[in-house]
Amino acid sequence: MKYIFTFSFLSFFAFAQDFDAGIVKTNEATFAVNSFSSGYNIPWGMTFLPNGEMLVSDLSGKLFRVFNNGKQKKEILGVPKVLFKRQGGLLDVEIHPDYKKNHLVYIAYSHQIGKKSFTRIARGALKEDRLVDFKIIFTADEKDYTSRAIHFGSRIIFYDNHIYFAIGDSFERDEAQDLNTPNGKIHRLTYDGDIPNDNPFTNSDGSKSSIWTYGNRNPQGLAVTKDGIIWETEHGPRGGDELNIIRKGINYGWPKITYGINYIGTKITDYTEMEGMEQPIWHWTPSIAVCGMAIYEHSLFDKWNGNILVTSLKDEYLERIIVKNGKYVARESIYNPGSRVRDVEVGPQGKIYVALEDPGRIVVLTPAD
């Protein structure tokens, strides 16, 4: 396997108004970094509206519309109450593929019942900076809620007239292998929340019919290419972060197989592979605490076209991964901001938007050539 892991060179300008500003030189591109939007707790998800404005979900429970080239933002009302605790809060945000007609916005968030919580998927129509006609698309049975408030997963994508979304294992690791529970899975529903007839487990006794894949620890990234390949980044334990191609009915192995160990250094399993369980396309060992991802399919950074962009929380960088025919080729760290990197989104003009923590802000990368 080939590694391209030369850390990018960042020249900072001493601009008091934009401490992120700088020029970055990488192996195949030189780009400018500039502040785009600030004043967040933790910007967790980003998506673009057809008019070029951006929606940003903040972990604290607020949803924002960002406009005027990032200079202004306005809070969107009508967002449900979330459990803002540990890893819980307002998580991903995406718009319906036919947003121009229906104005539907989908969100993932940690929903609370008593002292327990679980991932919930819902939608509302965006009208005058408020979500109206709110509808729950997915909610778990109360018995599946847990008190841990971690491993919510929750990334959302749309493909083939369906919604796909990720739910982490809630730190109940064995349940990722249990088709009777929703955690540790990728799910697939119709846009309205119904069960598709061609889901893989609709005829299995007691199984959750929304399940598309299982054996997933804590999926933090989900993206689909123009030709319909669904990629996933999965946050592992101590080691064993994964890059996977998501396919119908596949068991991705957690916790029966993993390249990671427990945080205290003990074994989770003796096995890194097992018959009937999928191997990752790539795994990060030691862990980088992989999070959001995006597929770069644009000509603006022409040499990156077809690459996968992946964020790192622990090592605080943005990475690009070169893949060919579904196989790993190489990787390169392209941007090192000195902050936890939560998410990445490709804008309609090919610019790259990166969500950072400490403090919560979004920067934009544009070619400097």
Domains along the chain with CATH numbers: 9-367 (2.120.10.30)
CB 356 within 8 A of CB 337: yes
For residue 240, which phi and psi values (nearest 5 degrees)?
85, 20
pLDDT of residue 244: 98
Least Cα distance to 139 among 168, 176, 110 occurs for: 110
Q: Is residue 9 over pLDDT 50?
A: no
> pTM for this structure?
0.95
pLDDT of residue 7: 46
Least Cα distance to 178 among 204, 149, 199 occurs for: 204
Q: How far, in Å, CA of 234 to CA of 243, rounded? A: 6
Taking residues 111-137, what's their average pLDDT? Answer: 97
pLDDT band for position 257 (50/70/90)? very high
Catalytic annotation on 151?
yes
Q: How far, in Å, CA of 10 to CA of 70, rounded? A: 23
pLDDT digits (tens, 9 = 90+) for 186-244: 999 999 999 999 999 998 778 999 999 999 999 999 999 999 999 999 999 999 999 99
DSSP 341-362: EEEEEE-TTS-EEEEETTTEEE
pLDDT band for position 4 (50/70/90)? low
pLDDT digits (tens, 9 = 90+) for 185-195: 999 999 999 99
pLDDT digits (tens, 9 = 90+) for 329-346: 999 999 999 999 999 999
pLDDT of residue 15: 36
Taking residues 127-132, what's their average pLDDT? Answer: 98
Q: How far, in Å, CA of 326 to CA of 69, rounded? A: 36
Burial of 148 (0-12, 13-18, 19+ CB in 10 A): middle
pLDDT more than 90, % of the chain: 92
Q: Is residue 16 over pLDDT 70?
A: no
In single-letter form, the type of residue at position 254 comes to W
Catalytic residue among 96, 111, 151, 162: 151
For residue 25, give Cα distances in angstroms to 295, 317, 333. Answer: 21, 14, 11
Q: Is residue 80 over pLDDT 80?
A: yes
pLDDT digits (tens, 9 = 90+) for 356-368: 999 999 999 999 9
Least Cα distance to 333 among 369, 299, 366, 284 occurs for: 284
pLDDT digits (tens, 9 = 90+) for 304-335: 999 999 999 999 999 999 999 999 999 999 99
In single-letter form, the type of residue at position 174 comes to D
Q: Is residue 23 over pLDDT 70?
A: yes
Q: Is residue 254 over pLDDT 90?
A: yes
Strand order in the sheet with 327-335: 290-295, 308-312, 318-324, 327-335
pLDDT of residue 14: 33
Q: Is residue 77 over pLDDT 70?
A: yes
Taking residues 276-301, what's their average pLDDT? Answer: 98
Q: Is residue 158 over pLDDT 90?
A: yes
